[in-house]
Amino acid sequence: MEPLSWTGSLSVLNPVVTGVAALLALAVVAQMVLSLFAPEQSVKANPDGTLVARGGLFGGSEKAVKWLFLALVLLGLAYVVAGVLTPMGTAGIIGAVCKKLTPVWGSIIVLFVLSFRFKRRLGLYGKLFDSSIGMIGFGIVMFWVFTAIFSDIVATHDVLSQISGMKNKVPGTPTPDGAGWYLLGGDHLGRDVFSRVIAGSRIVIVIAPFATVFAFMVGITLGLPAGYYGGKLDTGLSFLANLILAFPVILFFYLLVTPEIVQTGMPQYLGVVLFLFPIVFLMVLVNSRFYVVPTRRNVMVGLIAVVGGYFYLSFVGEAGTRVAVLPQSLDLIHMPGNMLIVFVSVVFVNSPTVFRIVRGIVLDIKTRDYVAAGQTRGERPWYIMIWEILPNARGPLIVDFCLRIGYTTILLGTLGFFGLGLSPESPDWGSTINAGRKLMTIAQHPAIVPALALMSLVLGLNLLADGLREESLKD
């Protein structure tokens, strides 16, 4: 088998892409320069004063950036379509990668078509498709979500299999047995970089959102009463939050992963406390909503206690550790020790920040008239907090949730880079970057590929948050 070039039979498009990219760069620079000197009369407006277009040189540069960017996107789609439709390897490395990602492209197309079709019925999510920035960010995020879901299908090799002859090989190198290629090259142990990046997406997509959800449960459960009641409760909780925030994050992670601390079971004990908050929040939510219907309330609270308690015990407990309540046959959720440490650490560090955000929002909203109306009706405090205040705080909290997933993703990469994350053979992006950077002078791709993956996911989350913020402000 012959080594693959980057574009293969699609090399005829390369000059066109290069030319369009160069023109786009020039148009962006021209727009930045002209924005400093564009006269006010270049702005065209409707009689009511709304802006419709810009004339003159600045308006021309603005249109040029828009159309050149669209042209570049269409050329990128041409590479994807050609890669999917042509035989494996014909369209080079880019085409082969696109072909392996076929289930991802199909899922994104179906999702976007259905979302556009029913967007007027989908609330804030549907309004997201009125924002170009939001759609781009959502598309990038869902690309990695579907990649994680189909990682077993997309990956070309086992993430731990080593081929000695493929150590630090360049992208597109065929394997010695002739069964395929290392599409994005091999790492220092002869493992497939493409497959490890694809498998690593599953770890990031699982840990980052779930850790953020748990952090929000802790922050919301404590932030609502702190802001609503104030007084000594607010002072005490705020002091604890500030105390945690004042502690250096990296030093905290170093302490948690030291063998002496791990042997004491402290990470698991922290998990026992932190992972209890989602159950407490759900119970309070149901109790406040159905307080006047005791029979229904008791049934729902009982179900939450039984089902949530089972998953809670299965989540925090692990056979052979200090916290092992359930028998091994009933313990369905198995979390390795290193992953539990990372999960607990991320939740513990993010919770105080969420607490402060929720507390600040509650301090503002509790002075509104509809809160006073609820108090006048005799509504219970937790009903007002959860069903009156919290829904009206959803905009800032949703935006912060998306941004915080990005921060958590960076944090996971940082922990892996410093060797504080998962096991060294784990394909998570931080560990992969750390392993690849040691041989950057010999081979750059083992570190650059996961770094680009990490950057693209965080960029998508930030763009998604910007789009959600734009749409939430219109409510």
Within a domain: 288 = yes
Residue type, 347: V
Question: Which of 278, 164, 299, 272 lies closest to 220 in space, CA to CA?
Answer: 278
Question: For residue 345, is pLDDT > 90?
Answer: no
Lowest mean pLDDT among 33-47, 181-195, 325-339: 33-47
Over range 19-45, report the average pLDDT.
Answer: 77
Question: For residue 206, is pLDDT > 70?
Answer: yes
Strands 51-54 and 173-174, by their bridges, are: unpaired
| Tens-place pLDDT, residues 398-408 | 889 988 888 88
| Tens-place pLDDT, residues 156-176 | 998 888 888 888 899 999 988
Rounded distance between C-alpha atoms, residue 220 and residue 226, angstroms: 10
Mean pLDDT score across all residues of the chain: 85
Question: For residue 41, is pLDDT > 50?
Answer: no
DSSP character for 164? G
What are the backbone angles phi and psi of residue 173, rounded to the nearest 5°?
-75, 130
Is the same domain home to 214 and 357?
Answer: yes
Structural domain harbouring 83: 1-100
Is the same domain home to 414 and 274?
Answer: yes
Lowest mean pLDDT among 37-51, 127-141, 295-309: 37-51
Give SS3 for 196: helix
Lowest mean pLDDT among 9-13, 228-232, 310-314, 324-328: 324-328
Within a domain: 261 = yes
Lowest mean pLDDT among 49-53, 237-241, 420-424, 425-429: 49-53
Within a domain: 108 = no
Structural domain ending residue among the three candidates 65, 100, 135: 100
Structural domain ending residue among the three candidates 76, 100, 124: 100
Task: Return the pLDDT at 23.
Answer: 93
Tally the domains of the chain: 2
Strands 43-45 and 51-54, by their bridges, are: antiparallel
Q: Find the distance separating the first CA and the last CA of the chain, reported in whole Å.
A: 58
Is the same domain home to 65 and 206?
Answer: no
Within a domain: 291 = yes
Is the same domain home to 317 and 460?
Answer: yes
* Whether the Cβ atoms of residue 219 and residue 351 lie closer than 8 Å to each other: yes
Rounded distance between C-alpha atoms, residue 38 and residue 250, angstroms: 47
pTM above 0.85, yes or no: yes
Within a domain: 105 = no
Within a domain: 321 = yes
**Structure token digits, residue 37:** 């000197």
Within a domain: 151 = no
Within a domain: 398 = yes
Is the same domain home to 61 and 209?
Answer: no
| Tens-place pLDDT, residues 172-203 | 999 888 788 999 999 988 999 999 999 999 98
**Structure token digits, residue 318:** 């692990």
Over range 360-387, report the average pLDDT.
Answer: 90
Structural domain ending residue among the three candidates 100, 130, 159: 100
Find the angle CA(116)-CA(118)-CA(123) to the nearest 5 degrees: 100
**349: Cβ–Cβ under 8 A, 6 or more apart, which residues?**
244, 249, 252, 411
Question: For residue 46, is pLDDT > 80?
Answer: no
Question: Which of 400, 422, 403 lies closest to 413 in space, CA to CA?
Answer: 422
Rounded distance between C-alpha atoms, residue 406 and residue 250, angstroms: 18
Residue type, 116: F
Is the same domain home to 79 and 215?
Answer: no
| Tens-place pLDDT, residues 229-242 | 989 999 999 999 99
**Structure token digits, residue 149:** 């879901």
Rounded distance between C-alpha atoms, residue 125 and residue 195, angstroms: 32
Q: How confident is the model at residue 133 (pLDDT cuts 50, 70, 90)?
A: confident
Q: Give helix 193-229 / helix 429-437 axis angle, nearest 10°.
A: 130
Is the same domain home to 76 and 205?
Answer: no
Is the same domain home to 94 and 201?
Answer: no
